[in-house]
Amino acid sequence: MRAPSWAERYGGAVGYGLQPNQIVILRALQLGDLLCAVPSFRAFRRAWPSARIALIGLPWARDFVRRFSLYFDEFIEFPGYPGLPERPAQTGALHEFLGALRRRRADLAVQLHGDGTITNELVARFGARRMAGFHPPAQQPPAGGDFLEYPSDRHEIRRLLALPQRIGLPAEGEQLEFPIDRGEESSWCRMRFETGLANRAYVCLHAGARAEARRWPLDEFARVGRALAARGLRVVVTGDGAEEEALAARLAEQLDGRALNLAGRTPLGVLAALIRDARLIVCNDTGVSHLAAAVRTPSLIVFRVTEPARWAPLDSSLHRPVHDGPGAAGEVLAHAKELLAREGAGAA
């Protein structure tokens, strides 16, 4: 027999009756994964505005929680767990982590980290009064919680939103967000002045991706960059981290001095502002694709091994997925011409 949902348990519509005071959410993943979860985070916060909500995430996500302080009150560092690839499990730190969570005795622990094959067992060890999450298809859900069979047939944003909807929370939209603070805006203004970048007069090329299998060949990026430069657009090469900086340097070299290489010079918030003010970004299926969706800059995303139906931005009029293969560069340029034309024929 199915356990009653929060809404059923506490007297009907959410917003009435007993509310959870402490909520912990597990999603210990990378930037794009967290951005796709923002609509779900928003649903939890708006349904329970007075609750203390903590994100359990990878170390880098401490800054994410600071940035999204409207939705989170606290960051809890995830020390890894056996069987999860995101971070090697640290036995001592894991023991302390689980002990602290059990002492916390949260009202609700939310599993937003995969289908639950491994993570439901982990979240059960948090000692929360109630759990919510996904469970693998054809398996019984854990007892004493609100669980939904993992919906493998839909976009990641909608997949994650299915869980708060299962709990009975009202929908709060599918749109992504990315707040940029005043300091980041000031840094971006200085950089724009120093580099002479005019608003909406440049395009970004982002050749990096965490997984090498997702990276479109540099010579294809270079072909696109040369064609866009020939249209009178300034080309900006971006990247984050040592490996992406090396890729960006090689790409800039292939562009024969016709590109401005800003890889390694743009912290995440400054990178978001740079992308926001661009006419267009061409990238792989990686975090910056979702960043472009959040700041509503037209994008062309080359997919090599991942599924556009799951990971491409939802607004297909503004963001165009392209499958890698013969003719991909030509398809990218055709979409680019169309997207650029929308903002004025002068730049196309």
Q: Phi, psi at residue 36, to the nearest 5°? A: -65, -20
Residues whose CB is less than 8 angstroms from the CB of residue 34 and which lie 6 or more positions away in sequence, other chains included:
27, 57, 61, 64
Q: How far is CA 103 from CA 26, 97, 99, 301, in A?
A: 17, 10, 6, 45
pLDDT for residue 6: 53
Residues of each domain in the chain carrying CATH 3.40.50.2000: 6-167, 182-342
pLDDT over 70 at 211, yes or no: yes
Looking up tokens 């349904």, which residue turns up?
47
For 172-187, what is each residue's pLDDT tens digit?
A: 999 999 999 999 999 9
- What mean pLDDT is reported for the chain? 93
In terms of CATH, what superfamily is 182-342? Answer: Glycogen Phosphorylase B; (3.40.50.2000)
For 46-67, what is each residue's pLDDT tens digit?
A: 999 999 999 999 999 999 999 9
pLDDT-derived band at 2, boundaries 50, 70, 90: low
For 103-112, what is each residue's pLDDT tens digit?
A: 999 999 999 9
Determine contact, residues 265/245, Cβ cutoff 8 Å: no
Better-scored residue on pLDDT, 2 or 261: 261
What is the spatial distance between Cα 309 and Cα 302, in angstroms, rounded to a whole number? Answer: 13
Task: Calculate what percentage of the chain has a pLDDT beyond 90.
Answer: 87
What is the spatial distance between Cα 83 and Cα 334, in angstroms, rounded to a whole number? Answer: 43
What is the spatial distance between Cα 78 and Cα 126, in angstroms, rounded to a whole number? Answer: 12
Least confident of 107-111, 194-198, 254-258: 254-258
Better-scored residue on pLDDT, 338 or 241: 338
Looking up tokens 């995969």, which residue turns up?
114
> Dihedral, CA atoms, 271, 277, 278, 281, nearest 10 degrees?
50
- Options 3.40.50.2000, 2.40.50.100, 3.40.50.20, 3.30.420.40; CATH of 6-167: 3.40.50.2000
Residues whose CB is less than 8 angstroms from the CB of residue 68 and which lie 6 or more positions away in sequence, other chains included:
38, 41, 177, 179
pLDDT for residue 14: 44
pLDDT for residue 5: 53
Instruction: State which amino acid sits at residue 237.
Output: V
How many degrees, rounded to 5, is the angle at CA 30 between CA 28 and CA 33? Answer: 90
pLDDT for residue 8: 53
pLDDT-derived band at 144, boundaries 50, 70, 90: confident
pLDDT-derived band at 171, boundaries 50, 70, 90: confident
